[in-house]
Structure 1
Amino acid sequence: MVIWDHLLAGAVEDGNTAALVQLASRLWATIDTFSGAAAEAYRRFADERLRRDKTSHDLLLTSLLDGPIENETRTAELIRELDLPPRASYLVVTAEDDPLHDLAARLARAGIPSAWTEQRGRVFGVVALGPRTDPATVTAMLSESVQGRIGTSQPHSVGTLPVHGKREALAAKRCLAPGSAGVHVFGSSPIALLVTAASDVTDQICTGVLGGLAELPAAARTVLLDTLQAWFDAKGSTADAAKILHCHRNTVLYRLNQIAELTGRSVTDPRSSAELYVASTANALGSSRFAAT
């Protein structure tokens, strides 16, 4: 301001204020140009730093999930570098098509630390559990925003997280039918886990158990398979299965009798019912090529 006051006084004394105004205009234009350039340079610097931070974050989380990690000390270091609490239990979560949106922020607002990354179009996260945060709480929050299949592992310690976490989460997700939406916890459905883990054997089981349906036209076969699955979903209640299928309970009974005739297995026989359940589950989860035959 002292310099400006001196220039202004000189211009007034010489009667040359117009020249001063022009000079001031050019000066402020120059300042604006350099200020804009400085702001743009800072923005690029901040963006690059953010990109590098995200890359570093993704590498750390990938190392934690994929391993192998030489010892628990290194695992603890990775957890600390990801800003996760070092002495906790952890869930690994995986989802398809990024249905989680702002889940990390919502978990943070609930006081639940987590770290997320994306690998080949699939989202993976590690969620830290605490004294007031159990797996059921996390599952409930996941369910609020679910738009596709989400699988979660069992809780793991620092020692078992890199070994089992990601594998369990992926296996849990496969226990949901393709195209469906929901959250599945590893181990909550042993039969689904079994049939998705052994697809080759599952094909043989489906062919052996449901092979009699293969002679039917595709539409008729689908009706019977849907009826069988609905009956199991209804826990063996013909009336509830009829509600699921939007038909009369006698129609359900008729179709179940058809299945018994074609497969030689009745849902009223415990052993046959178990075999039908395994085959039906495999078919529903897409773990068998039977339905496509």
Structure 2
Amino acid sequence: MGALGLIERDDTHREVVGAAARQLSSDIPALATRLLARIRATCPSSARLVSEDEQFESVRLGLTYGLATIPEPGPERRELSQAARTGRRRAAQGVPLDELVKAYHLSVQLVWDEMVKTVREESPGRLDLLMRSSMHIWAGIERQADAAAEGYRQAQAEQRRFQDERARMLLGRLLEADEPAPELVDAVRDALGLEEDGGYAVAVTRYTRAARGGLFRHPETLDGSRVVWSPGADGDLAVISVRGEDVHRISKALEAELEGPIGLSPKVRGLASLGFARRLAETALAGRRPDDRGVIALDEHLVRSFVLSAPDLAELLRRQVMSGVLALPEHEASALLDTLACWLEVGSTTEAARRLYCHRNTVLNRLRRLEQVTSRKLDEPRDVVLLALALDAVRIG
């Protein structure tokens, strides 16, 4: 711990400082023992996280390389390489960066005190020459502290990349699981800091051409809600923390941030339900029409998604409920289906007439004609459900 850098002074200065450095180098183990005691007394995390034997060896090598650079600087700068290795190691052990740097400062304080003591005892008349070299000696330790800190930061960045990759892998496994093991749920919770029983929605994206070209953005928040992304083959998946019960605002925020199409699940409870939510989001996305470009929220397209998830039943509905309508001339069939769709959406013949730009009696006549052709009654709840399902079956088909 503690290389002391190059002394770029005249020969007299170099001789004085070099002689003191060689004197200290003659008993490195004793110097390392004293320095180690100071470090472990003032750096509690280091003392707790690093074994005494390992820390002693690190201190011994640092002093050995550091003191050797004073009389013979050399091009290798082994003291800087040793500092960088120490920094990487301490990052892996979880030692705080400020304690790492403090250890180097303790090193130069001890070595400087010992050099002053040595020169005062051996050549007191040259003490002023040593004092004039103090800035160079302290600059040397700063270079080492910088090298150790840089190694520390590089190791931390590598750790974060590894942790991020591991978290994404775990989240991907959870999103694919039908009944995830409790251990997997716990691992995702700990890796990503998500609430195990929180409310979540899952969004499934499909890349556009622009997104494939590198313009796809991954927002970390949506309307104040945290978003965690997981890579997919055709598009990425987003796990969104949902506050309250309203997913509609999440849908609007997604449309503002990303190009569609995007399938959005309803809110589910708990991390263990993310696989279920992912399947619901896929169902919503699979039910999109060719002209759908934004977010397809399953909550807003339940009937369409229900029909799409059972194509055989959808065909049965088309044949049993809508065969009469489909046998009519195309313009008449389209008018009946459009009127039914509008009436189902607004629940009012008056409002349907306003939206369809026709008289209310026209709407009533079309609905009666629909009842006649399908043999279903719009005042019968069961028949209304069947007509709604059959309508989407026709439009999807």
Range into which the TM-score falls when normalised by the shorter chain? 0.5 to 0.7
How far the C-alpha of 1:262 sits from its partner, in A, is 2.5
Residues 79 and 219 (structure 1), Cα distance of their counterparts in 2 relative to 1, 3 Å cut: farther
1:125 aligns with 2:230: no
| Residue 276 (1) aligns with residue 387 (2) | yes
- How far residue 252 of structure 1 moved from its aligned partner, in angstroms, is 1.8
Residue in 2 that maps onto 1:143: 252
- Give the corresponding residue for 1:242: 353
Alignment correspondent of 2:274: 161
8 Å contact kept, 1:151–1:171: no
**CA–CA distance in 1 between the matches of 2:168 and 2:331?**
46
Which residue number in structure 2 is paired with residue 32 of structure 1? none
How many residues are matched? 236
Q: Residues 67 and 182 of structure 1: is their aligned pair in 2 closer, same or farther, counting only changes over 3 Å? A: closer
Letter of the structure 1 residue corresponding to residue 385 of structure 2: A
Deviation at 1:159, TM superposition (A): 3.5
Tell me the equivalent position of 1:71.
181
- The residue aligned with 1:84 is 193
Structure 2 residue aligned with 1:222: 334
Q: Write the letter of the residue equivalent to 2:308.
A: T
Unaligned runs of 5+ in 2: 1-6, 9-153
Separation of aligned partners in 2, 1:251 and 1:192: 27
1:206 counterpart = 2:321: no
Offset at residue 239 of structure 1 (A): 1.3
Q: Name the CA distance, whole Å, in 1 between partners of 2:373 and 2:273.
A: 47
* Selected match of 1:105 from 220, 225, 235: 220
| 1:10 corresponding residue in structure 2 | none
Structure 1 residue 224 displacement after superposition: 1.9
Cα distance in structure 2, aligned partners of 1:262 and 1:55: 59
The Cα of 1:152 is off from its aligned counterpart by 1.6
Bigger fraction of residues in helix: 2
Shift of 1:212: 0.7
CA pair 268-159 structure 1, distance change in 2 beyond 3 A: closer
- 3-state SS of the aligned residue for 1:126? strand
- The one-letter code matched in structure 2 to 1:104 is P
* One-letter amino acid matched to 1:67: A
Given the alignment of the two structures, is residue 262 of structure 1 paired with residue 360 of structure 2, yes or no? no
Give the AA of the match of 1:127: I
Describe the superposition over 1:134-191 as per-residue Cα deviations: whole angstroms up to 9, x where unpaired.
242x5413313425443224323233434x23223323445665533445355x7764
| 2:387 partner SS | helix
Residue 270 of structure 1 deviates from its aligned partner by 4.3
Where does residue 92 of structure 2 map in the other structure? none
- Could you give the per-residue CA deviations for residues 249-273 of structure 1, whole angstroms, max 9, x where no partner exists? 2322232233233223342444433
CA–CA separation in structure 2 for the residues paired with 1:250 and 1:68: 51
Partner of 1:26: none
After TM superposition, give the deviation of residue 64 of structure 1 in Å: 1.8
- Counterpart of 2:221 in 1: which secondary structure? helix
Percent of aligned pairs with the same residue? 21
Q: What is the alpha-carbon distance in structure 2 between the residues aligned to residue 219 and residue 53 of structure 1?
A: 60
Q: Describe the superposition over 1:25-80 as per-residue Cα deviations: whole angstroms up to 9, x where unpaired.
A: xxxxxxxxxxxxxxxxxxxx9xxx79988765543332121136762122221333
Q: TM-score, with normalisation over the residues of structure 1?
A: 0.64
List gaps (5 residues or longer) in structure 1: 4-44
Match of 2:364 among 249, 253, 256: 253
Shift of 1:227: 1.2
Q: In structure 1, what residue type is equivalent to 2:244?
A: D
One-letter amino acid matched to 2:219: A
| 3-state SS of 2:297 partner | strand
Q: Secondary structure at 1:122's aligned position in 2?
A: coil
Instruction: Give 1 or 2 for the bigger CA radius of gyration.
Output: 2
Question: TM-score, normalized by length of structure 2?
Answer: 0.49
2:282 is matched with 170
* Aligned-pair Cα RMSD in Å: 3.9
Which amino acid letter does the alignment assign opposite residue 275 of structure 1?
L
